[in-house]
Structure 1
């Protein structure tokens, strides 16, 4: 049996307490089993039950794959999450690079502004975007007064509105992920490249970007999973016409009282996030293996 030793200082010497590793892991395992594994098992079992008779059946899965609305919501969720992930990574990378490399007094101000959205609730931030993107919102009113347009642009209740709102919500997490990765890159590599005549753009392209791939992958995965599971922002900014899996699951539970079909949608959403995470992890591992093989060939 594996045992772990914990040494505690005592008045007259040292007290050594030995306990099995299983005892130390038991609280965490019990917590995960109670609040994660057990509910997941109940949800999976419920997905195989009929919503009326509670008889075991595969009709819920057949309905999901044959119903055009369900598959459309699945595809819409994937597209929305991918756009948010790309937008967060592209917008967050310059800010993360500045925070990781700058020593100016403005660094604290930029860092505070980057984390400022987290000081307000998601619903409050979403209502702020409603004021900006509505037909009589700030953008449309400004464009109409300037004479650029004559009728309001359909900015709200659309994919653009949801992506903009979710990008605002998820951006701080992407910035922190990218900043941590860039801080792990040795600054001397950039200085050496600049001393050899490389421009700032070349240094970022050939040194910083390849070495910060783990942070880019983490930013993409965090942004994708957070956007795919978001409910408040798609519900408020997307409206009734823009339905994603999170809002469709809520409708099945609250309005149609169809928990088995909601379980199927939840499993589909979970499977999508796990698949994307697995692809990202495998991609990062393959890039690391290529770098290792190149180093071995050069040596």
Structure 2
């Protein structure tokens, strides 16, 4: 009798958990279905329709792969995003390490400066870089004034300007991702290595960097995806000559009214980001396997 009474609350608790789980997940699943799955399905369906007759066809995909402009925009987007991801991770790592380990009052100042760009809009920050980098901007005017150059340097309307602008936009997200990963590393590992005679550079190279690989991968993926999907910065700093997939999609929708071909470009952009994410996840998994195998050899 006692066993029956004791098992009743446990059974009712499991039943309540089974009943409440679908109820709790229903709003999120409904939102994802309406605002993500349904638009994605419509976009994929449009990509198989002719832009004029709306007849099912594969011509849009043939046009994308055979048209040199579309493939050039795809490659240009991939190169731009990779450069931004590398620049954000490289520049953000020292700042993230300082924020994760410093206990001085300067930590608050540096943290505020790192997040300060997010207080202004993307368009405002992009126009700021446009004023600095254009032919008659601050840098070129200063170089010409001091006699360093005689003609303005091509600092705007190209890949360099877009990478600089997007690095400024994405850098705070990379810093936060790296800082979170470094904070999860036990400080005693670094102290023990220094007590055994390792230099500060050796500690960072052999201890901090390998243990912060998840943060590095996260920073690379966040920076890559944000740069690949950016529109305002490439449109303003790149100009009409520097076209990436985001700006080309906008042109197809607004100027050419060719939604099916714009859907193909959007699918190509999504596939690029998914492949980059898959590569990052596989890379992190392989590093974890290597670490576990090394630990087994040591034991």
TM-score range, shorter chain: over 0.9
Higher strand share: 1
Mapped to 2, the partners of 1:159 and 1:232 lie a distance apart of: 14
Mapped to 1, the partners of 2:21 and 2:196 lie a distance apart of: 53
- Report matched runs for 1:137-286 at 5 Å: 137-286=137-286
Structure 2 unaligned segments of length 5 or more: list them: 1-10
Query: Does the C-alpha gap of structure 1 residues 61 and 107 become closer, same or farther in structure 2, counting only changes over 3 Å?
Result: same
Q: Residue 82 of structure 1 contacts residue 224 of structure 1 at CA under 8 Å; is this kept in 2?
A: yes
Q: Cα deviations across residues 66-91 of structure 1 (Å, max 9, x unaligned)?
A: 00000000000000000000000000
Residue 293 of structure 2 aligns with which residue? 293
Residue 95 of structure 1 aligns with which residue? 95
Q: Residue 162 of structure 1 contacts residue 234 of structure 1 at CA under 8 Å; is this kept in 2?
A: yes
Q: Cα deviations across residues 39-89 of structure 1 (Å, max 9, x unaligned)?
A: 000000000000000000000000000000000000000000000000000
Residue 122 of structure 1 aligns with which residue? 122
Higher helix share: 2
SS at match of 2:125: helix
Residue 12 of structure 1 aligns with which residue? none
Q: Residue 4 of structure 1 contacts residue 21 of structure 1 at CA under 8 Å; is this kept in 2?
A: no
Structure 1 unaligned segments of length 5 or more: list them: 7-15
Mapped to 2, the partners of 1:163 and 1:240 lie a distance apart of: 16
Q: Residue 135 of structure 1 contacts residue 153 of structure 1 at CA under 8 Å; is this kept in 2?
A: yes
Q: Give the deviation of 1:293 after TM superposition.
A: 1.3
Count of residues in correspondence between the two structures: 288
Query: Does the C-alpha gap of structure 1 residues 262 and 99 become closer, same or farther in structure 2, counting only changes over 3 Å?
Result: same
Q: Give the deviation of 1:5 after TM superposition.
A: 4.6
Mapped to 2, the partners of 1:191 and 1:174 lie a distance apart of: 26
Mapped to 2, the partners of 1:160 and 1:291 lie a distance apart of: 37
Q: Give the deviation of 1:262 after TM superposition.
A: 0.1
Query: Does the C-alpha gap of structure 1 residues 192 and 149 become closer, same or farther in structure 2, counting only changes over 3 Å?
Result: same
Structure 1 stretches of 4+ moved >4 Å: 3-6
Query: Does the C-alpha gap of structure 1 residues 123 and 197 become closer, same or farther in structure 2, counting only changes over 3 Å?
Result: same
TM-score, structure 1 as length reference:
0.94
Q: Give the deviation of 1:21 after TM superposition.
A: 2.1
Q: Give the deviation of 1:291 after TM superposition.
A: 0.7
Residue 75 of structure 1 aligns with which residue? 75
Q: Give the deviation of 1:298 after TM superposition.
A: 1.4
Q: Give the deviation of 1:257 after TM superposition.
A: 0.1
Q: Cα deviations across residues 91-117 of structure 1 (Å, max 9, x unaligned)?
A: 000000000000111000000000000
SS at match of 2:19: strand
